[in-house]
Homo-oligomer: A and B are copies of this chain.
Amino acid sequence: MNDALSIVLFSGTQDKLHAAGTIAAGAAAMGRPVNILLQYWALDAFRADRIDEDHGLSYDAARPRFNEPVGRVGHIPWLETFRQAKELGEVSILACSGSLSVLGLEQTPMDPLVDDSGGIASFLIAAEGSQLIFI
């Protein structure tokens, strides 16, 4: 096993984006290469025209008190964690070309944090031998 960390980032809510960015920043700070593939709603979250909007919260909390503590959380600085990760180390963020097509986003500008687009096959090749997580 090599020391890289690979993340398939699927979810587009700010809590999960924050979790992903925090893990990426932590790994980058350890000097580990980090490869991130943006799929589906994470890809939508990184659109240049929407990245600063409120990205909501996931439904992974117990529903009987859905707005508490969910409603207390407020804005989560998820984007800063990805910026920090890139400053700290070698972090690649790719837009998944298959997801771009499914969502009709091929011509939509992405935030400059996104380095390039690429397919799942090339991501999996780059991710071989590394820890791989899906968020």
A residues bordering B, Cβ < 8 Å?
Answer: 1, 3, 8, 10-13, 15-16, 18-19, 22-23, 26-27, 29-30, 39-41, 44-45, 50, 53-64, 69, 72-73, 76, 98, 102-105, 119-121, 123-125, 127-135
Q: In the complex, what residues of B have CB within 8 A of residue A10's CB?
A: 15-16, 19, 60, 135
Within the complex, what minimum Cβ distance (angstroms) separates A79 from chain B? 13
Contact status A23-B120, CB under 8 Å:
yes
Chain B: minimal CB distance from A49 (Å): 12
Q: How far is the CB of A6 from chain B (nearest CB, A)?
A: 8
B residues near A12, Cβ cutoff 8 Å: 60-62
CA distance A121 to B69 in the complex (A): 25
Determine how close the nearest CB of chain B comes to the CB of A24; give it in whole angstroms: 10
Query: In the complex, which of the residues B27, B72, B132 contacts A103, with contact meaning CB atoms closer than 8 Å?
Result: B72
- A98-B11 Cα distance, complex, nearest whole Å: 20
